[in-house]
Structure 1
Amino acid sequence: MAVTRRQKEIIDFLESFVSRNGYSPSFEEIARGMNLKSLATVHKHISNLEKKGLLDRVHNRSRSIDVLPPGARNRTSDRLPLAGRIAAGLPVETSENPETISLHDVVGNRDVFALEVRGDSMRDEHIINGDYVLVERTRTARQGEIVVALVHGSETTLKRFYAEGQVVRLQPANVDMDPIYVPAAQVAIQGRVLGVLRKYR
């Protein structure tokens, strides 16, 4: 994907900075190094380069800007054609559509990681063994959200979250399984589920 002269200069600066220091520059260091007066301008350039798949960064964490190697850039910036909508009931007419969709459209700028699902405790939510869940990293959850919970400091599980006084109910979505009741102090939320990926072959 084409980059502007200024964007190329920023990439060159980032690569040079990391080579010299062994870590990524802050926005302030980028502004000083590129003679940019506004941090908002730096943010705009970094965001545009990230959208083009040339940079990767962890949001809400300093010094997390990584220049992606050329081989990884195409994989990150790949977009799939969104060819329209399809009914899961009666057939509907389909038509070619110039829109595209990428993983970024689903997760946005949130801090997201993926986990491979093992087991069938969430099968009634259509999350089954072998699926991948996209999880937004967070320490809090609302009632009924599907979360990744750390239990007793050593075990993680994927369940619906319900705070019930001094106890947390971790509710499976499987009629053959009982809920898990854990003292609230022994449960740490690690993230909430944004979406599910499933591979058929």
Structure 2
Amino acid sequence: MLTKKQLDLLEFIHKRLQRDGVPPSFDEMKVALDLRSKSGIHRLITALEERGFIRRLAHRARAIEILRLPESLGGGSEPQNAGTEAQGFSPTVIDGGQDRTPARTSARHSSAVELPVMGRIAAGVPIEAISQVSHQVTVPGGMISPNGQHFALEVKGDSMIEAGINNGDIVVIRETEAADDGDIVVALVEGHEATLKRYHREGSIIALEAANPAYETRRYPEEQVRIQGLLVGLIRTY
């Protein structure tokens, strides 16, 4: 039996994982639950882990995996990934081609798809924009929107570590030119530098916010920033 705060936190983490593909930071959890300190979040996380609803991944900042959901959130008694090994999968290969324009890959209903990795994206200061396929990566079909176009990027840097995004991770991006406040986006800055940051609009100014206190939020006139895609998933190799 979960307390209301435990249930509220589990629901918040679940929704953010579905939306962003990565869990919220402890600061975001604290604000969402209207708590005064992060110590309260640590206690709730520990309680959820002890009850078998979540698992914290060792040596990874803010890395949380949901194992199961209570019935009130649409889950059952079994872990969310139970039975997947027995079911197997039939991968559908999506041809990324050698087009220099990212995201020429249409999603299909399948258990796994291949996406073109377009090179590296900065999770730090912006780096030169990349637009050339380096290799392919297989991703779960559930990450892919049926009507969207997607591509993948390798993360370089640690500025998004508190959002659970580490150096060397592969991020799955849905192509879009629109974003809402708080979304993690691929932004093209001044036409030639690409970066992975959390998006905020401040009137006619676009703020690109890091998830690491060592990096400052960078602000640009809106005409200098073009959204290229929205984070929908993350692949990590251990």
2:145 aligned partner, one-letter code: G
Confirm or deny that 1:122 pairs with 2:160: yes
| TM-score, normalisation: structure 2 | 0.44
Aligned residue in 2 for 1:187: 225
Q: Select the residue among 83, 108, 123 that pairs with 2:145.
A: 108
Say if 2:182 is the partner of 1:144.
yes
How far apart are residue 108 of structure 1 and its match? Answer: 3.2
For structure 2, the residue ranges without an aligned partner over 5 or more in a row are: 1-51, 57-66, 69-77, 89-110, 113-139
Structure 1 residue matching 2:214: 3-state secondary structure: coil
Partner of 1:37: none
1:175 — aligned with what?
213
Query: What letter corresponds to residue 108 of structure 1 in structure 2?
Result: S
Q: Point out where structure 1 has 5 or more consecutive residues left out of the alignment.
A: 1-84
Matched AA of 2:191: G
Mapped pair 1:153 → 2:120:
no
Matched to 2:141, the amino acid is: H
1: CA distance, partners of 2:223 / 2:172: 26
By how many angstroms is 1:106 displaced?
1.7
Partner SS state of residue 121, structure 1: coil
Find the aligned partners of 1:125 and 1:160 in 2 and give their Cα distance. 9
Q: Return structure 1 stretches of 4+ with deviation > 2 angstroms.
A: 91-96, 98-102
Structure 1 length as normaliser, TM-score? Answer: 0.52
What SS class does the counterpart of residue 156 from structure 2 fall into?
Answer: coil
Paired residue for 1:163, among 194, 201, 213?
A: 201
CA 86–189 in structure 1, closer or farther in 2 if over 3 Å, else same:
same
In 2, the alpha carbon distance for the partners of 1:171 and 1:104 equals 29
Worse-matched range after superposition: 94-103 or 144-153: 94-103
Go from structure 1 to structure 2 and tell me whether the alpha carbon gap of 1:86 and 1:168 turns closer, same or farther (over 3 Å shift). Answer: same
**Number of equivalent positions:** 115
> Aligned to 1:147, what secondary structure does the other structure show?
strand
Alpha carbon RMSD of aligned pairs, Å? 2.6
Question: How far is the alpha carbon of 1:113 from its aligned partner?
Answer: 0.4
Match of 1:88 in 2: 55
User: Which AA in structure 2 matches 1:189?
Assistant: I
**Displacement of 1:86:** 7.5
Alpha-carbon shift at residue 96 of structure 1 (Å): 6.0
Partner of 2:43: none
Distance (Å, rounded) in 1 between the aligned partners of 2:54 and 2:186: 31
CA distance in 1, matches of 2:145, 2:190: 32
Alpha-carbon distance between aligned partners in 1 of 2:150 and 2:195, rounded to the nearest angstrom: 17
- Greater Cα radius of gyration, structure 1 or 2: 1
Q: Name the SS of the counterpart of 2:198 in structure 1.
A: strand
1:176 partner SS: coil
In the alignment, the residues of structure 2 paired with residue 149 and residue 195 of structure 1 have an alpha-carbon distance, to the nearest angstrom, of 17
SS at match of 1:133: strand
SS class of match (2:142): helix
